Amino acid sequence: MAFWLLYVASFFCLWLENSMIVLTVAQKPRLFRSPVGSMLPFLLKFITRYGSAAGLWYQYGYAIAAGALIASYFFGHITFKRYFNQQVKFVNSMLEQQVRKEVEEEICNSDLPRRTKDDSSFIDKMVYSRTTAMAEKMVTASMKRV
């Protein structure tokens, strides 16, 4: 029974790690800003996940332990994607206004036909593609700094 409780606790640790890893240093709580503090969710997840898997393997066999690890992997994948996309949307909203000005200036100075220059959907598509790519790069870069 204790290993099942540890297994459930590993889901909380996994959620905590995935919610913290995509944040910038300024967005993280003070406890997780230092290099040691930023490793805390990973260490908690590692100990609880693999400790519970070892206990489940010892008590119930490798099939239950493997199933528990696979379920934990899918939960981690889903929560990471959720928080990554949420952070990309946040960064994207911050960049959108600045990029819109740059795109409008670029279009005004270009040789595009007037009809294209006045088409707001064309401008929206350019802004969206540029900000989304920039936001994904920024979030990915902030994750590498951890």
Phi and psi at residue 113, in whole multiples of 5°? Answer: -60, 155
Range of the domain at 103: 2-144
Residue carrying the six token digits 């995935």:
18
Say how many domains are in the chain: 1
Q: Please state the pTM of the whole predicted model.
A: 0.72
Q: Give the tens place of pLDDT for each residue, 72-114.
A: 999 999 999 999 989 888 888 888 877 777 777 777 777 666 5
Distance CA 28, CA 17 (A): 11
Q: Give the tens place of pLDDT for each residue, 50-70.
A: 999 999 999 999 999 999 999
